[in-house]
Chain A
Amino acid sequence: MLLFVLMSQVLSAPTPSIYPVVNSALTQNSVSRNGLSAIFRMRLRQWQDGSPITVFVLRDNNPLHQQFCKQVLNVFPHQMRRSWNKLVFSGTGQAPVTVASKDEMVDKIASTPGAIGYLSDEDITEDIKILIIK
């Protein structure tokens, strides 16, 4: 019963907004929806100025990852994994870098030029900016 009450509270809690975020040194401020999807599917590897993109993601079963995939990219997490495996095991692309936690995501994006990942608004620090979806 207690478990049920706890669960229903978790389920009814408002989910925080989640945004694609980049290293704040990046000159580019926005991206098209197709472009964002291509970046996370590891098909687009360069920013508009030609500099390399490094993609960071949380593990497949992380709730933030699942929320970002479904709400922002409009894709199921297992579908993302499938498309990365296809690139990795056919030699035609690479997988994103997996980080273990939200804190590591913050660190990596703040310290890696050209980095992109995703965070909830309350976790965004000063070295990180939201990439606006056009």
Chain B
Amino acid sequence: MRHTSTLNCFFKLHNYGIVIVLCCLFTNAQAFESDWLPQNLQIHGFLSQGFIHTSDNNFFGKTDDSISTDFRELGINASYRILPELQVAMQVVWRDAGKTDDSNVRIDYGLASYNLYSSENSLLTLRGGRVPTPLGLYNDTRDVASTRPSILLPQSIYFDVNRNLALSADGGYIYGEHRTDYGDFSLNFGVVMPRLDDPDFKNVIVGPDPGKMEGDISWVLRTGYEWENGLVKLAVTYADFNGDYKPSSGALLQPGSWRFNPLILSAQYNAEKWSLTGEYAIRRAQLRNFGAIPDTQFTGQSFYIQGTYRLTSSLEALVRYDDLIWDMDDRKGLKLAQAAPGITNHSRFAQDWTFGLRYEILPALNFSAEYHRINGTGWLSNLENPQGTTQHWDMYTIMMSYDF
């Protein structure tokens, strides 16, 4: 623990210098990798520093009328191929995202993969440990800025306020892949126990009531199709996430349970200079046996459509429309706002127009800038906005990121 707090302290002191310092350290990373290490051991890493300003409302730190530097991600991973059919890998990440992340060092994944069968046309693999959760197109590597199309992923599907819950979970997966002349088909199925480390998550469900959230047996299934090595990508994801609330003494609520079922349809077309991406999700949420909170069930909808275009070999532009509705039976949140006077109706939806640019300064060193015009506060954290929220707001973000 002491080591962790020293590390955090170090990074806080070096808020602005961190990207530069670490880039210098790792500039020669590729040489370091191939000269020092045996060829079956690889070390990779990434780091990013964001700067965020908003016209109203706070997102990842105090951003309203101020510039927040509390969005920082730093990770290092090692993978070791012990046998041709057996690999182990682990990634340690330090992340800060305002009050929505506790800034601790954590293990994002630590897993073993064993190939039961591998041929030129097929692959069957077992994976166990803490495994990245296969949700949609971007979740598996969501921490790594270079794998995201924009500084912030479309929040309607990749909520950052419960990033730890979505990112990875402890359990086992079976993965199969079949490559044909008509494209590659894949199937990934896992049984997991979700991690409930997000400070905002308990708050969303039970508010300030004392106690904690625990994961319960859950499962995830993603099927995918890729044509011409990723020219066209299609995927369908379905998951059944379960968890329980364990109240501590003095709690007003009963030990209830929640259930969350997202169905995500994903499609992407990648041409040489441009790409078009869309994802659509239906999310069903259920709360049961909390006592003072009546048993509830609602279904929400999320979708985004996104285009990117490479203006030059090092400059890419992005436009995206992202739309979130928490409850399809109460699209504008008016019914809920009437029934519960403490809740504003605009917290039940969000429509986000994003315009972004990414400039590749060096291979693997990127500078990005982004403007968001947002109607609604559906994906904002209550923890960061105790003073209330404004319905129409703007967000400006820039980010430096590096990986090796």
Chain A residues proximal to chain B, CB less than 8 Å? 31-32, 34-35, 37-38, 41, 43-46, 50-54, 59-61, 73-76, 79, 82-83, 85-86, 88-95, 97-99, 112
Contacts and interface: CB of A to CB of B under 8 A. Distances in A.
Given A45-B118, A79-B229, A89 B44 contact: yes
Given A75-B229, A88-B42, A89-B144, A32 B121 contact: yes
B219 interface: no
Given A34-B181, A59-B363, A75-B229, A92 B127 contact: yes
18 contacts: A34-B180, A35-B120, A38-B120, A44-B118, A45-B81, A46-B118, A59-B363, A60-B363, A82-B230, A83-B230, A85-B147, A86-B140, A89-B91, A91-B77, A92-B89, A92-B140, A95-B42, A98-B30
Contacts of B132: 90-92
Contacts of B109: 90-91
Contacts of A59: 363
B44 A50 contact: no
B167 to A, nearest CB: 10
Given A89-B147, A95-B44, 11 more contacts: A43-B123, A45-B84, A45-B85, A46-B85, A53-B84, A74-B229, A75-B228, A79-B230, A89-B143, A89-B144, A90-B141
B177 interface: yes
A92 B113 contact: yes
B10 to A, nearest CB: 24
Report the 5 A-B pairs with minimum CB-CB distance, sorted nearest first. Answer: A35-B120, A91-B89, A75-B229, A52-B84, A89-B141
B223 interface: no
Contacts, number: 117
A91 B34 contact: no
Which of A31, A37, A53, A112 counts the most B-chain CB atoms under 10 A from its CB?
A: A37
A7 to B, nearest CB: 16
B304 interface: no
A99 B42 CA distance: 15
B44 A34 contact: no
Contacts of B179: 34, 37-38
Contacts of A52: 40, 81, 84
A92 B123 CA distance: 13
Contacts of B75: 89
Contacts of B91: 89, 91
A51 B363 CA distance: 33
B84 A51 contact: yes
B226 to A, nearest CB: 9
Contacts of A54: 39
A39 to B, nearest CB: 8
Contact of A97 (B34, B87, B140): B34
A82 B230 CA distance: 10
Contact of A94 (B87, B140, B144): B87
Contacts of A44: 118-120, 123
Given A61-B363, A79-B270, A89-B46, A35 B81 contact: no
A112 B39 CA distance: 10
B111 interface: yes
Nearest to B34: A97
B90 interface: yes
B391 interface: no
Nearest to A95: B42
Interface centre among A45, A54, A86, A90 (most CB of B within 10 A): A90
Contact of B146 (A45, A51, A85, A94): A85
B119 to A, nearest CB: 8
Nearest to A84: B44
Contacts of A83: 229-230
A52 B30 CA distance: 22
Nearest to B146: A85
B68 to A, nearest CB: 25
Contacts of A93: 79, 87
A55 to B, nearest CB: 10
A88 B30 contact: no
Given A46-B84, A52-B81, A94-B42, A34 B90 contact: no
A43 to B, nearest CB: 6
Contacts of A97: 34, 39
Nearest to B272: A76
Nearest to B178: A34
A54 B132 CA distance: 25
Nearest to A45: B84
A86 B229 contact: no
B233 to A, nearest CB: 10
A52 B231 CA distance: 29
Nearest to A83: B230
A84 B95 CA distance: 23
Contacts of B143: 89
B123 A94 contact: no
A86 B148 CA distance: 11
A86 B141 contact: yes
